[in-house]
Structure 1
Amino acid sequence: MAEPWLSADDIAAHLGITKDTVYGWIAEKGMPAHKLGRLWKFQTSEIDEWVRSGGAASSSDHAGSG
């Protein structure tokens, strides 16, 4: 079965953040998102992998990087 496409509201709830944070992360941190017309759509597997790889971490959150 194909993975469903989620809205910004859905992905915000999945991550426990606000929709404004979702849009900020798309613009500033390269959060994986796909624009369909005026709507952003997300796949949970892509978002979870991005979070696990440190995509949502701020630059000060990376330990031992210097």
Structure 2
Amino acid sequence: MSEAWLSAEEISSHLGVTKDTVYLWIAEKHLPAHRVGRLWKFQASEVDAWVRSGRAGDDGGAA
């Protein structure tokens, strides 16, 4: 059985952050997300791997 797609609200709850942070991470930190029409959809396994890779905490080289 395939993994369910999660909404921005569901993934923000999963990560314990606000939806605004999720949208910021999509734009600035390349959070794995898929656009379906106007909506963003996520797979928890992709997002969890992204967090484990350390990219969530990467400041992008800002000093």
**Fold match by TM threshold 0.5:** yes
Moved over 2 A (4+): none
Aligned partner of 1:63 in structure 2 is none
Aligned partner of 1:3 in structure 2 is 3
Tell me if 1:49 matches 2:49: yes
Radius of gyration: which is bigger? 1
Where do 1:14-25 residues align within 5 Å?
14-25=14-25
TM-score, length-normalised on structure 2?
0.91
Q: Gaps spanning 5+ residues in structure 1: where?
A: 61-66
Aligned partner of 2:58 in structure 1 is 58
TM-score, length-normalised on structure 1?
0.87
* Residues 15-59 of structure 1 deviation map (CA, whole Å, 9 limit, x = unaligned): 000000000000000000000000000000000000000111033
Partner letter of residue 29 of structure 1?
K
- Total equivalences in the alignment: 60
Identity, % of aligned positions: 67
Alignment RMSD (CA, Å): 1.2
Q: Gaps spanning 5+ residues in structure 2: where?
A: none
Tell me if 1:26 matches 2:26: yes
